[in-house]
Structure 1
Amino acid sequence: MKQILIAEDEPDIQELLCAYLEDAGYRTTVAGDGAQALAVFGGQPFDLVLLDLMLPGIDGFGVCEVIRRQSQVPILMLTALDGEESQLRGFGLDIDDYVTKPFSMPVLLEKIRVILRRRGLAGPESRLHYRDLSLDLDTREVLLAGRPLELTAREFELLHTFLAAPGRVFTREMLLARLWGYDFYGDERVVDSHIKNLRHKLGRNYIETVRGVGYRAAKADR
């Protein structure tokens, strides 16, 4: 399992990143400020660093400068600053990519996968199997009993979320944060609508409702 250092000071985003990345097959370690990030980085090897730019104390640029003196580990910057100057400064420090907040968790996961592959580092298994379903995370192909199944991007990410963590219950709030963005303020019923459409396409009950809580992948014997 690849180890990712998350240097981020906002607890909600820390929790979201950890949950999503761990479900995707990565191990995570969190640092809440620049000094802690450098201390943690110096104490163990990491395969990638998710680095918030606006960290307390030593900011992301400072952390990146120190890391680059000792390592060429992949660095993906996360920031609310979307100006060209900040991006150019980051790339000038030899970061691998730059993501502005709010960001899509599926897109972030794909960027991580691409960076690791580009660096020659094997990421988590790219094909996911569950009962007679098969998801290819690189090509986005879905096979149901060996036959291609056409899903929208959101439906694919919903199915991926459930099948990557069989048995785990996801509330509507969790699904909204992961797939629609942590700053989404719309109607939670959008989740129900997408799951209804997904169930219709699957034709069988692969996703079950946990009454009063949320949804999860249905048990294998159903």
Structure 2
Amino acid sequence: MTTILIVDDDQNVRKFVRIYLTEQGYQVLEASDGMDALRVLEQERCDIAVVDVMMPYMDGFALTKEIRRRYEIPVILLTAKNQIEDKEQGYEAGTDDYVVKPFEPKELYFRIQALLRRYEKSSGEPVVKIGGTVINKNSYEVQTAERTFLLPLKEFELLFWLMSHPSQVFTRDQLIEQIWGMDYEGDDRTVDVHIKRLRERFAPLTNDFHIKTVRGVGYALEANA
């Protein structure tokens, strides 16, 4: 069962979040401040931490830095502040996402789901191979036709995701959520542009795979026999 650590000095917030997430099938652990959270993490295996910014003894920024230093789990920061400086400080501390209070529990639930999927992907096999094409997530290199490429980040992540799930069809919305994140506010045509670039790069070089358009749905990467 997936275990979520909720860290907030407001017991009402902890109770509010715990009740909702428990109803969704998660196991929820609680901590009232940063020091308490570190003690819980030493004793229990947690899959994700939801951390309030303003807490006594150790605030959310400091706790996030410690979690980043010690553990490989995603972190969502909760805050009552909606200023860009606070978000900047949070991302510099290493948070994966940021939710502003007051929030709907369903929004937090969706963000938790998205981050868990993203970490499951990133913790998987770092090297994927189709035919003679090899994509390496550790070095961010793609090797094909005796050539090595360093792709732009989003092109790389999109190709890695598609090669990791050959023949699986993804909608544009699914690809945006997976590659660009839930907060992306651009046009879904971005997916089309990146697919076009990948086709233009690799079609002249290799017949190992092709990216197929599934009309009315989205895209799928097919390995050529």
Query: What does residue 61 of structure 2 align with?
Result: 61
**Does 2:115 match 1:111?**
no
Deviations 1:35-88 (A, max 9, x none): 101111121211000000011111111111111111121000001111111101
AA partner of residue 114 (structure 1)? A
Q: What letter corresponds to residue 58 of structure 1 in structure 2?
A: M
2:18 alignment counterpart? 18
1:9 is matched with 9
Query: Is contact 2:53-2:78 (8 Å) kept?
Result: yes
Gaps of 5+ in 1: 122-137, 140-222
Given that 2:33 and 2:58 are in contact with CA atoms closer than 8 Å, whether structure 1 keeps it comes out as yes
State which structure, 1 or 2, has the greater radius of gyration over its C-alpha atoms: 2
1:9 offset after TM fit, Å? 1.0
TM-score computed with the length of structure 2 as normaliser: 0.52
1:66 partner amino acid: E
For residues 159-178 of structure 1, the aligned pairs below 5 Å read: none
Give 3-state SS (helix, strand or coil) of 2:20's partner: helix
Mapped to 1, the partners of 2:114 and 2:66 lie a distance apart of 24
Structure 2 residues not aligned, in runs of 5+: 122-172, 175-225
* Structure 1 equivalent of residue 163 of structure 2: none
Aligned residues: 123
* More RCO (CA 8 Å, sep 6+): 1
Q: Distance in 2 between matches of 1:38 and 1:80?
A: 23
Query: Match for 1:37: what amino acid?
Result: A
8 Å CA contact 2:34–2:59 kept in 1: the answer is yes
Question: Hey, what's the Cα distance between the residues in 2 that align with 1:11 and 1:93?
Answer: 25
Segments of 4+ moved more than 3 angstroms: none
Q: Distance in 2 between matches of 1:68 and 1:94?
A: 7
Q: Distance in 1 between matches of 2:119 and 2:64?
A: 18
The secondary structure found in structure 2 opposite 1:119 is helix
Distance 1:61 1:86 in 2: 10
Query: Aligned residue for 2:120?
Result: 120
State the alpha-carbon separation in 1 of the partners of residues 57 and 81 from structure 2.
17
Deviation of 1:90 (Å): 0.9
Q: Residues of 2 paired with 1:82 and 1:38: CA distance?
A: 26
Deviation at 1:34, TM superposition (A): 1.4
SS class of match (1:29): strand
Residues 81-160 of structure 1: matches in 2 within 5 Å? 81-120=81-120
The SS at the match of 1:120 is helix
Cα distance in 1, alignment partners of residues 118 and 8 from structure 2: 24
Bigger Cα displacement from structure 2, 38-47 vs 96-105: 38-47
DSSP 3-state at the match of 2:120? coil
Contact 2:65 2:94 (C-alpha < 8 Å) held by counterparts? no
Q: Deviations over 1:142-179 (max 9, x none)?
A: xxxxxxxxxxxxxxxxxxxxxxxxxxxxxxxxxxxxxx
Partner in structure 1 of residue 74 of structure 2: 74
Separation (CA, whole Å) in 2 of partners of 1:74 and 1:82: 21
Deviations 1:110-168 (A, max 9, x none): 111111111117xxxxxxxxxxxxxxxx99xxxxxxxxxxxxxxxxxxxxxxxxxxxxx
CA RMSD of aligned residues (A): 1.6
| TM-score (normalised: structure 1) | 0.53
